[in-house]
Amino acid sequence: MARKPRRVLLPAPRSFCAGVERAIEIVERLLEEHGPPVYVRNQIVHNAHVVADLESRGAVFVGELDEVPADALVVFSAHGVAPAVEREAAARGLDAIDATCPLVAKVHAEAKRAADSGDTVILIGHEGHEEVIGTIGVAPDRTLLVESAAEIAALQVPDPAKLTYLSQTTLAVAEVETIAEALKQRFPQIKDQGAEDICYATSNRQAAVAAVVDEADLVLVVGSANSSNSNRLVELADSAGVAAHLIEDAAAIDPNWLEHAATVAVTAGASAPPRLVDEVVQALAALGPIEIVERVHTRETQEFLLPQRLRPTAKNRQR
């Protein structure tokens, strides 16, 4: 008997989001218009393939601004930077372009507004993540970081009546809801900003995986190890009792994972190029017949404008 085709579920949306596309396009346009080198503080987005591709074209990724020559062009990554970094760039005369995702910039604005009003900001996030470092840097003397609900009982605040909570944009929706509820229980007067901080791309990708995970024997998430939103997709599948693996690309697939997997769900974090998902599907097809089924949870139509200096002029648009 012919072997029944393995079913490959492709939840959508997956791969690049508008903020990632915008950040990458900023570096690409600068390379085209100014030529290399274009310096980028930290990875422009958390994906090794994207970074390697831009490096091959002349982007130079650095950890700190003191690695950037005087008067050079430097891009701030999609994860955002603290105001102190912006001031340092200005003081050194660097030509700085901000590729911060507009949704991260929104959280920065919320943090500044809360701190300026006299509130202590409680930021829900993962210590050491670049986005968290940048957000804390907006009001470092007025911001406390919380990583789990278990930390809240011991949390000491200057004034329980003057609190606002915010969250990193790439966390698990359920995780933030749990921590936020614990904060409200401990500090009944705590405020949020009236807007969801977890970005639409993160929540959409989580919802898309949640909609198919019960049908899958295995979930493969394409993304780099330092991609927060990609890791949350793996955790979501794990919590549903389904085997899940974060893979950099098709080469990372272990055939042993597929031995009893009649249905495989393949998705990708918001910083992973769509072509990597295509390559994973091709790798699965090379191991035997497959049936591809796409499941669309929602369609994303968001677009973010480039910085003013990089937008096409009317003359260029006519070409």
Could you tell me whether strands 120-124 and 143-146 are parallel, antiparallel, or unpaired per DSSP bridges?
Answer: parallel
- Report the DSSP beta bridge partners of residue 11: 295
Q: Which of 55, 131, 147, 291 is catalytic?
A: 131
Minimal CA–CA distance to 131: which of 200, 28, 21, 46?
Answer: 46
Question: Which token pair is 176?
Answer: 């933030």
Is residue 215 flagged as an active site residue? no
Residue with tokens 């993304």: 223
Alpha carbon 144 to chain centroid distance? Answer: 21
CB burial string 56-80: b at 16+ within 10 A, e below: eeebbbeeebeebeeebbbbbbbbb
Label residue 233 exposed, middle or buried (CB < 10 Å: 0-12, 13-18, 19+). buried
Which amino acid type is present at position 278?
A: D
Active site residues per annotation: 131
